[in-house]
């Protein structure tokens, strides 16, 4: 019984030693280099580049090498430089020889270890990004350690132009701000209160002129003479 357990322990030990072979031979990190060029192929040095996968991210400059974590997930790359549309890339991860050997020798246990740590995968070691384009870089298309130019999969210039504000036409002054609405327009909109009619002043009617009385005619000396008095002046017939 004891020998049987010892035998199983020995087998398990061999499997565990074989397991994680890629983790031992390749490690969990990898050095990659990124170059950048314009659409016409002119090199652009010292562009700022960010490399990101599910294990983390790293910052570097174009033309320089940096260390990234190995992973079964793809490595996303973006580089920027003044006056250039962004350069984008996706590095496809592929199983390395360590993982293959681990599957053969260590079985599923070793494969699980290498897959979990990412040690069983490789990215292209040298990639050339193009400003204004999005490209795919596959490890299987790399010959030795030569640069991988990748396959164009998209255009970043259109997105950059769509996000940029439209330039003002040369020589055209900026539009003047709209003038505030005149107060008279507001007044016109307000209801107008009716104006009370002011009665015209009543002119006093001139008083009727008093009738002019004729001046009294001087009394005639005969006006008060009576007939009796006249008779007295006649001679008496005797």
Domain that holds residue 70: 2-163
Average pLDDT over all residues of the chain: 72
For residue 160, CA distances in Å to 77, 80, 82 come to 17, 12, 13
41 in any annotated domain: yes
171 in any annotated domain: no
Q: pLDDT confidence of 191, banded at 50, 70, 90?
A: low
127 in any annotated domain: yes
Quickly tell me which residue has 């009617």 as its tokens: 205
Question: In 27-160, at which residue ranges do the beta strands (DSSP E only) sit?
Answer: 29-37, 48-53, 56-61, 65-69, 75-80, 87-92, 94-95, 121-122, 126-130, 133-138, 151-155
Give the least confident one: 16-20, 54-58, 71-75, 134-138: 16-20
pLDDT digits (tens, 9 = 90+) for 1-41: 444 544 444 444 444 444 445 454 558 899 999 999 999 99
20 in any annotated domain: yes
174 in any annotated domain: no
177 in any annotated domain: no
Counting the structural domains of the chain, the total is: 1
204 in any annotated domain: no
Angle at 58 between CA 52 and CA 63, to 5 degrees: 105
SS3 content of the chain, % helix, strand, coil (to 5): 30, 25, 45
84 in any annotated domain: yes
């Amino acid at each position: 019984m004891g020998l049987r357990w010892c035998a199983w322990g020995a087998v398990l030990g061999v499997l565990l030693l074989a397991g994680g072979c890629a983790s031992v031979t390749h490690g969990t990190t990898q050095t990659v280099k990124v170059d950048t060029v314009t659409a016409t192929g002119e090199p652009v040095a010292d562009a700022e580049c960010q490399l990101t996968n599910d294990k983390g991210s790293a910052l570097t400059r174009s033309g320089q090498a940096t260390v990234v974590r190995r992973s079964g997930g793809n490595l996303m790359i973006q580089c920027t430089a003044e006056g250039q549309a962004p350069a984008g890339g996706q590095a496809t991860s592929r199983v390395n020889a360590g993982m293959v050997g681990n599957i053969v020798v260590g079985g599923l246990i070793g494969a699980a270890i290498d897959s979990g740590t990412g040690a069983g995968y490789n990215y292209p070691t040298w990639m050339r990004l193009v400003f204004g384009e999005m490209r795919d870089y596959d490890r299987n298309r790399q010959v030795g350690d030569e640069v991988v130019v990748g396959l164009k999969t998209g255009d970043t210039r259109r997105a950059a132009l769509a996000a940029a504000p439209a330039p003002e036409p040369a020589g055209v002054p900026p539009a003047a701000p709209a003038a505030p609405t005149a107060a008279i327009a507001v007044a016109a909109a307000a209801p107008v209160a009716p104006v009370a009619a002011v009665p015209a002043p009543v002119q006093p009617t001139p008083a009727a002129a008093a009738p002019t009385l004729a001046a009294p005619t001087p009394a005639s000396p005969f006006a008060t003479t009576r007939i009796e008095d006249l008779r007295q002046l006649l001679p008496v017939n005797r």
